[in-house]
Amino acid sequence: MNMPRMQKAFDDFIKVFFPDVMCWTTWHPVGTDLASTYKVSVSVDKIEVKKRRRNRGIGTRFLKMLLILADQCGFDVVLSPSGQFGGDVVKLRRWYWRLGFRENTCSWAEFRYKANRRNK
């Protein structure tokens, strides 16, 4: 599946299965193969659960499903814990770690995590 179709399928998936979740993503083509399909990296920029639905595990279920989808479609997921939108960075780091994300040690990156699901 090419990147624009994958992004559209992802957006449709969220609307249908997670109507209480808003997710802002940036899709990055990492390269192409001979069939003109992309290796994709998805940066999760922000996840927001509607206030009336928070603290019920919806965000956790959403991220778990995103990682399953990523495994099935073969793309990587990266994110950066930030307090920019009112989140607690320490809690976000622990939450991402529990979900299988690991610190990305690339020198060009700010503090980021990358899904490390294949090495469990």
The pLDDT of 28-57, averaged and rounded, is 78
- Cα 65 from Cα 10, distance rounded (Å): 11
Model confidence pLDDT, tens digit, residues 90-103: 998 888 888 888 77
Q: Is the predicted pLDDT of residue 1 greater than 60, yes or no?
A: no
Report which of residues 26 and 105 the model is more confident about.
26
Model confidence pLDDT, tens digit, residues 65-74: 988 888 877 7
Q: Could you tell me the residue ranges of all domains in the chain? A: 3-119
Exposure b/e, 43-69, CB count within 10 A at least 16 = b: ebeebebeeeeeeeebbeebbeebbeb
Predicted local confidence at residue 58, as pLDDT: 96
Residues 6+ apart with CB under 8 A from 70: 42, 76, 77, 115, 117
The 10 Å Cβ neighbour count of residue 8 is 11
Closest-CA residue to 62 (of 75, 74, 50): 50
- Cα 79 from Cα 52, distance rounded (Å): 25
pTM value is: 0.77
User: What CATH number is given for 3-119 in this structure?
Assistant: 3.40.630
